[in-house]
């Protein structure tokens, strides 16, 4: 329990590192000290790149936040590891941005979620629309944005699926963003995806005028079911 009162979503490394150290000591995972040190250095580097004082055009987290805000984000990981990061990003958008998100992992997402490319939230869903009509007074409708969380270790068939998925999305007017993992060890790669998207979820909240910290509905739910 954090004596400072920070919520679990802000304590991912404080909660995870002791478990990783124990797993390495027990021979359950290979996470030597040098990997932890490299991961810490990578997180420091990402924090510097994504710092609040950095302009959006050189800040990858702010750039992603601006892309996601106002869209319906569909988050796909290109490996089981990247799929974990996609789930984390969706949860962070839920809590920090107070925003819905769809997450999945390739290749499974190609068997179901890809059909949203043809639905009501796809940019080209209304094929009979008059492109030259007067749009004054139109409400802005949210559209899908595909966010690909790319692992640097992918199955070749999944790599091809990812590439074709991006082509299909763009052909239908669906914008695509990419976040590419950094580092060699699985912990480094996961940490790089999680860190950048964590920052993006907070910045997206700011873009939408939302305070990322409170989670009033969660606490209200807990209070009511405890009665």
Give the DSSP H or E segment for 147. Answer: strand 144-150
Shortest CA distance to 168 belongs to which of 83, 80, 74, 92?
74
Give CA–CA dist 63/207, Å, rounded: 11
216 upstream amide cis, omega within 30 of 0: no
Give CA–CA dist 219/183, Å, rounded: 37
In the numeric block, which tokens belong to residue 202? 């907070």
So what's the pLDDT on residue 125?
45
Give the residues across from 73 on adjacent strands. 145
Give CA–CA dist 86/77, Å, rounded: 6
In the numeric block, which tokens belong to residue 31? 């996470």
Pick one of 3.30.420.40, 3.40.50.10490, 2.40.30.170, 3.40.50.1000 as the CATH number of 32-126+141-225: 3.40.50.10490
So what's the pLDDT on residue 131?
47
Close Cβ partners of 80 (under 8 Å, ≥ 6 residues apart)? 105
Whats the size of the chain, residue-wise? 227
Close Cβ partners of 67 (under 8 Å, ≥ 6 residues apart)? 145, 147, 175, 177
Give the DSSP H or E segment for 74. Answer: strand 72-77
Based on its alpha-carbon atoms, the radius of gyration of the chain, rounded to whole angstroms, reads 19
pLDDT by position in tens, the chain (length 227): 555 667 888 889 988 999 999 999 999 999 999 999 999 999 999 999 999 999 999 999 999 999 999 999 999 999 999 999 999 999 999 999 999 999 999 999 999 999 999 998 987 545 455 545 554 555 557 799 999 999 999 999 999 999 999 999 999 999 999 999 999 999 999 999 999 999 999 999 999 999 999 899 999 999 999 98
Contacts 24+ apart (CB under 8 A), 68-71: 68/93, 68/99, 68/145, 68/147, 68/177, 68/200, 68/204, 69/97, 69/99, 69/204, 69/207, 69/208, 70/140, 70/142, 70/208, 71/142, 71/143, 71/144, 71/145, 71/175
Dihedral angle at the C-alpha atoms of 88, 91, 92, 97, nearest 10 degrees? 150
pTM over 0.85: yes
DSSP-derived secondary structure letter, 145: E
DSSP H helical ranges for 26-119: 33-49, 60-68, 80-96
So what's the pLDDT on residue 222?
94
């Amino acid at each position: 329990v954090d004596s400072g009162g920070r919520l679990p979503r802000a304590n991912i490394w404080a909660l995870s590192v002791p478990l990783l150290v124990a797993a390495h000591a027990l021979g359950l995972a290979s996470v030597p000290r040098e990997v932890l040190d490299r991961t810490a250095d990578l997180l420091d580097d990402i924090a510097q790149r994504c710092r609040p004082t950095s302009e959006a055009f050189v800040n990858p987290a702010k750039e992603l936040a601006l892309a996601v805000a106002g869209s319906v984000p569909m988050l796909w990981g290109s490996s089981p590891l990247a799929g974990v990061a996609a789930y984390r990003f969706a949860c962070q958008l839920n809590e920090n941005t107070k925003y819905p998100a769809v997450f999945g992992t390739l290749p499974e997402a190609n068997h179901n979620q890809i059909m949203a490319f043809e639905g009501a939230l796809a940019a080209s869903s209304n094929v009979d629309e008059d492109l030259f009509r007067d749009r004054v007074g139109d409400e802005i409708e949210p559209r899908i944005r595909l966010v690909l969380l790319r692992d640097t270790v992918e199955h070749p068939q999944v790599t091809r699926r990812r590439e074709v998925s991006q082509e299909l999305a763009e052909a239908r007017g669906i914008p695509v963003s990419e976040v590419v993992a950094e580092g060699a060890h699985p912990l480094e790669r996961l940490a790089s995806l999680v860190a950048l998207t964590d920052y993006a979820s907070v910045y997206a909240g700011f873009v939408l005028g939302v305070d990322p910290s409170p989670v009033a509905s969660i606490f209200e739910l807990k209070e009511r079911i405890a009665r």
